[in-house]
Amino acid sequence: MRIVIAGGHGQIALRLSRLLDARGGYEVAGLIRNPAQGDDLRAAGAEPVLCDLESASVEEVAAHLQGAGAAVFAAGAGPGSGAGRKDTVDRAAAVLFAEAAERAGVRRHIVVSSMGADPAHQGDEIFDAYLRAKGEADAYVRGCEGLDWTILKPGRLTDGPGTGLVRLEASTGRGDIAREDVAAVLAELVDSSATAGLTLELIDGTTPVAVAVKDVAGN
């Protein structure tokens, strides 16, 4: 299966690429806008694809998605960016990627969102703008009838080693989660079409990743 990851050089995306490459049976492509990042993707087992989601057309992105079995949106403006880029990346790029996936006929669509994302979120700080942008993007994806979408909302991200034990539910409450464990959940979700139509929160927990995904897929 070919998997296309938007934001291919992100910390979660690189971890996901390594996991899928190690499993075998996947051809992973990561969208990046900086060609200097290509070697990092290759080292993670992914094909680097130059595509700037802030300037690309729907047709251009759809061409990169042709033949894929799943699309994962893991892009983000990142820390230090202003409200403008929260809008152009965290909202507009996510919308563009979803629209392109529909156009390319790629039904399985997974979004890495954020706990607290809400288009009606109040506040004037940069993080408030981020949560609104993510919330607006999530709302758009939920309205895409051509996508079998799953929206994943991790808690506060940490860089420590993953435990492989998580809490994955419609509502978990606040908590931390290692990026490594987020990537592990995404790797399971790629093949778990039974989670389509679900918005899930993710924090540290006591349930093995594969079991947690199977549990929510059965609800």
Residues involved in catalysis: 130
pLDDT at 219: 60
| Residue pair 37/52 in contact by the 8 Å Cβ criterion | no
pTM for the predicted model, two decimal places: 0.95
pLDDT digits (tens, 9 = 90+) for 37-48: 999 999 999 999
Radius of gyration of the chain (CA): 16
Q: Give all domains of the chain, ordered by start, each with its CATH number.
A: 2-217 (3.40.50.720)
Positions in the chain short of pLDDT 50: none
Task: Give every CB contact of residue 130 below 8 A, 6+ residues apart in sequence.
Answer: 77, 86, 90, 114
